[in-house]
Structure 1
Amino acid sequence: MGDFLEWTAHDLIAALRGGELSAADVMQATLARIDAENPQYNAIVSLRDPDVLLQEARAADQSASKGPLHGVPIAVKDLADVGGMPTSQGSPLFAGQIAPESEIMVQRMQDAGAIVIGKTNTPEFGLGSHTYNPVFGATQNALLPGCSAGGSSGGAAVALARHMVCLADGSDAMGSLRNPAGWNGVYGMRPTWGRLPAAPGGDLFMHQLSTNGPMARNPRDLALLLGVQSGPDPRLPFGLPQANYSNDLDVDVAGRRIAWLADWGGAYPMEEGVLAAAQAGVARFEEMGCIVEAIAPPFDAAALWEAWTVLRAWYQAVKFGAIYDDPQRRDLLKPEAVWEVEKGRALTGAAIQRASTLRSDWYRAAHELFDRYDAFVLPTAQCWPFPVEWDWPKEIGGVQMDTYHRWMEVVIPVSLIGLPCVAVPMAGARPMGLQIAGRRGDDLGVLQLGAAWHRLTS
């Protein structure tokens, strides 16, 4: 039968349904793989009691199928609540804090039959695209041990790449489903904003920068998990319909028009070799019959950055405000979180309104862009995976990075206006990926392009 942990999620689920494998078989193998791989890579944290997990797997074998993920082990990013498990967020402030209930996305995976085995590592509060924190330490790159796994869904990407799980969830504000996918040779999807529900607490209207999403080792499995996770919830506004795309992926994409945006007209500094690798990757779309055109930037990069940093800091100032106001707790905050709060609290109403207007202007410009193209493509990062001991790169291509997140500026055109985007991995001596972004609501279109990429490159 071979190593079934290396199978696709679809094939593994088919074997479970057909009785070729039991959930207990899969769980036993999963725990053995984690025991062998995780000490080096540190992708899985807060692993549950193996005896309890095996009991749950045996119970799944004896029960009727709950849904499409019945008996499948899955680990949840350590920013999302799983009832009865700790949600540390990588912070000493929350280490060991037990969630009373599962949040919507997690509950949907559990209702579909998934068995949550533990959490996947993340940067402290998910801030920054390098997965390290003072609670669990750093996650090693799956392909280049000793280097960063990216982030903030770095633990999820590495768990997938090292075959500890076949599906993983993540979240993405500033490339957190895309950068780690590219750096670890897997696929990540940031869905259209509103496709997946968030936790229903707090403000429901003002902040639209982050979304949950799926990760997998191929686009068909991405679509499977997206179908489970997605759909509106009556407690939340702006919900989009459930997305079941697994059976609509394998189509001919010849004739689709791709806009190649490279380094946004020189606005995004790139480490040597990144742009050349991405350019070679983009040429593969021509092998699929796509029409690829290198175009000038459709919007001013400085305006995008202004809008992003203002709206992000405004959100973070609200999110961490109560902690910041307590001097003892503030001392335990990541310095970057303190910086975000102080920047956000210094903003005026006029500055926030200007940022929102710039975001609206970019949405209108993107709408015009998608009248001419089916997708635009950018690299998933501006540099190669860097040493795991770093906190973040201070310089790229001779340009000093003036903030902790400037080195990931290449992801904000997608994030700022909530576009659907699939990150695909490129083959090479050093890992890198491409972002395939489509118009709002066209999650199927970017998945189809990702599936065509997978067929060609795998």
Structure 2
Amino acid sequence: MDPLSLSARDLSTALRRRRISAREVLETHYARIDAVNPAVNAVVTQVREQAHAQALAADERAAATAPGDLPPLHGIPMTHKDTHATAGIRTTSGSPVFADLVPRESDAVIERFQRAGVISTGKNNVPEFAAGSHTYNEVFGTTLNPYDPTRSAGGSSGGAAVTLATRIQPLADGSDMGGSLRNPAAFNNVVGFRATPGVVPNAPARDPRAWLGQKGAMARSVEDVILALSVIAGPDPRSPLWCPTPAGAFAALLTEEVGRGSTPDRPLAGVRVAVTTDFGLDVPVEGEVAGVVLREAEVLAELGASVVPACPRLREADRVFDATRAFDMALSLREVVAGFPEQVKEEVHWNVERGLALTAEDLMDVAVARGRLDREIGRFFGAGGEGDGTGRTFDVLLAPTAQLAPFPAEWTWPREVAGTPMGTYIEWMRSATLISATGCPAISVPGGFTAAGLPVGLQLVGAPGRDVDLLRVARAYDEATRYADRAPAI
């Protein structure tokens, strides 16, 4: 049995039924890191002695416990995103300021993975403070795309996505403010899911009510993302955001047949899909990427969905995202920038300065804009019954995840997309930031490849709180296409 070839769900079953030991899986995991990590620089910290002790304890527990009483992710090894605090394991956030930081407590998402049986084996590379969708920093260098090591792996969960694509591990944790789960998933031919705010707790947090940045999961299939959500979702007393989708709903989804309530060859019968390539705002998108989106829209139609061109009115989304991101970044990092100005990259300075420059009037205007955006999203997905202005309402929006294919790794960020100059380091990711501002759940699923063999991701977006419905659609598409089965030749 080759554990590297198994899905997380199948590997979990094999471990709990003692067809393979946690120690064997761990040894294979580290052997794979040794084999491929020098070429991609995804895993930046390892704790082998600690992990081996945990694997031994897991095997001893399995020997004395019935399979059904073992946790759902018993014995599965995982490296974690380097911005997620992991007790006892160095967590640098990709910054020289915290190059030697070892936290005393873990983030909630790490605690939940560990309680579910995960063996923590190290950390994955990130951009400094997760600022940007290209994974490079002065501490560890640049993470490279396994489909073409001259190209970017995306970010900020770039290291996590590469561990999945290279078969180092079947599950990964990540986070997403402006696309940091979705963009690296698209660049590396894997799946990244941003849930409705409140579904996955962000705790502990300086601002427990912050909603724009969300923690989540990545995997090589939608089904494995659902498995991860079944253990990390659910309310936390440290996070006051309302959780609209309890973990039990994801566990129940795992037991459903794909395409419940429809015929096997038309699993998406009755699903109403809107498709856009420019988000109704003339967002520049490379022609080849837009072509993949339109081609895969036809696949959704073949699976039974009703697919028509449409998009919610997102004209307020830029203002909501820009101001909220600036406020959140300043709240989190203003002391770091003030105390270590020469050790923090220019883009972080820029974000903090924008946040500190916000006025009370700015914040009031953004609050009103967010209300208008919320109402528009409600209308589009049917909450107000008005839809897109023609009387149509939709279940899912289909759009590009990223506006371009993976770009050269030596760039700090693309200065141009489809002939349009980009003014800032995040403007090239408006395809993701516009959706972040809506509070909608969104998932990037593999959608195929460019002529040069570079991955392209499809972004599927659902109504706030309808995470399970969105995942049901994404899983049907994923099962029908299985683009993620095409592993990189590394």
Same fold (TM over 0.5): yes
Is 1:111 the counterpart of 2:115 in the alignment? yes
Secondary structure of 2:445's counterpart equals strand
Is 1:17 the counterpart of 2:16 in the alignment? yes
Give the length in aligned residue pairs: 451
CA–CA distance in structure 2, aligned partners of residues 420 and 137 of structure 1 = 32
Task: Indicate the larger mover: 310-319 or 116-125.
Answer: 310-319
Q: Following superposition of structure 1 onto structure 2, how do residues 276-425 of structure 1 map, counting pairs within 5 Å?
A: 276-295=291-310, 297-301=311-315, 303-326=316-339, 329-371=340-382, 372-425=393-446
CA–CA distance in structure 1, aligned partners of residues 110 and 314 of structure 2 = 38
Tell me: CA distance 1:339–1:451, structure 2 relative to 1, closer, same or farther (3 Å).
same
Q: CA deviation at 1:66?
A: 4.7
Deviations 1:139-195 (A, max 9, x none): 111212110001111111100010101110000001111111111111111111100
Q: In 2, are the aligned partners of 1:367 and 1:439 still within 8 Å (CA)?
A: yes
CA–CA distance in structure 1, aligned partners of residues 107 and 257 of structure 2 = 29
Q: CA deviation at 1:439?
A: 0.6
CA–CA distance in structure 1, aligned partners of residues 75 and 371 of structure 2 = 44
Tell me: CA distance 1:69–1:106, structure 2 relative to 1, closer, same or farther (3 Å).
same
Given candidates 140, 147, 167, the residue that maps to 1:143 is 147
Secondary structure of 1:320's counterpart equals helix
CA–CA distance in structure 2, aligned partners of residues 351 and 146 of structure 1 = 41
Is 1:434 the counterpart of 2:467 in the alignment? no
What is the TM-score with the length of structure 1 in the denominator?
A: 0.96
What is the TM-score with the length of structure 2 in the denominator?
A: 0.90
Secondary structure of 1:168's counterpart equals strand
CA–CA distance in structure 2, aligned partners of residues 122 and 288 of structure 1 = 37
Q: CA deviation at 1:315?
A: 1.4
Q: CA deviation at 1:118?
A: 0.4
Q: In 2, are the aligned partners of 1:253 and 1:448 still within 8 Å (CA)?
A: no
Provide the residue aligned with 2:28 in structure 1: 29
Is 1:40 the counterpart of 2:39 in the alignment? yes
Q: Which amino acid aligns with 2:481?
A: T
Q: CA deviation at 1:317?
A: 1.4
Is 1:264 the counterpart of 2:279 in the alignment? yes
Provide the residue aligned with 2:390 in structure 1: none
Secondary structure of 2:459's counterpart equals strand
Secondary structure of 1:435's counterpart equals strand
Deviations 1:237-294 (A, max 9, x none): 1241224232236123212000112112352111231111211122110111000010
Q: In 2, are the aligned partners of 1:152 and 1:177 still within 8 Å (CA)?
A: yes
Q: In 2, are the aligned partners of 1:270 and 1:382 still within 8 Å (CA)?
A: yes
Tell me: CA distance 1:138–1:384, structure 2 relative to 1, closer, same or farther (3 Å).
same
Q: Which amino acid aligns with 1:253?
A: L
Q: In 2, are the aligned partners of 1:426 and 1:432 still within 8 Å (CA)?
A: yes
Given candidates 73, 77, 91, the residue that maps to 1:69 is 73
CA–CA distance in structure 2, aligned partners of residues 282 and 181 of structure 1 = 19
Secondary structure of 2:368's counterpart equals helix
CA–CA distance in structure 1, aligned partners of residues 459 and 268 of structure 2 = 17
Q: In 2, are the aligned partners of 1:48 and 1:117 still within 8 Å (CA)?
A: yes
Secondary structure of 1:270's counterpart equals coil
Q: Considering only aligned residues, what root-mean-square deviation do their CA atoms show, in Å?
A: 1.3
Provide the residue aligned with 1:235 in structure 2: 238
Secondary structure of 1:37's counterpart equals helix
Secondary structure of 2:150's counterpart equals coil
Q: Which amino acid aligns with 1:216?
A: A
Q: CA deviation at 1:401?
A: 0.6
Q: Which amino acid aligns with 2:170?
A: C
Unpaired segments ≥5 residues, structure 2:
260-266, 383-392, 483-490
Is 1:219 the counterpart of 2:229 in the alignment? no
Q: In 2, are the aligned partners of 1:141 and 1:148 still within 8 Å (CA)?
A: yes
Tell me: CA distance 1:367–1:249, structure 2 relative to 1, closer, same or farther (3 Å).
farther
Deviations 1:89-110 (A, max 9, x none): 0000011100101121111111
Unpaired segments ≥5 residues, structure 1:
none
Given candidates 273, 276, 280, the residue that maps to 2:288 is 273
Identity percentage of aligned residues: 40
CA–CA distance in structure 2, aligned partners of residues 397 and 139 of structure 1 = 25
Secondary structure of 2:19's counterpart equals coil
Q: Which amino acid aligns with 1:140?
A: L
CA–CA distance in structure 2, aligned partners of residues 45 and 237 of structure 1 = 33
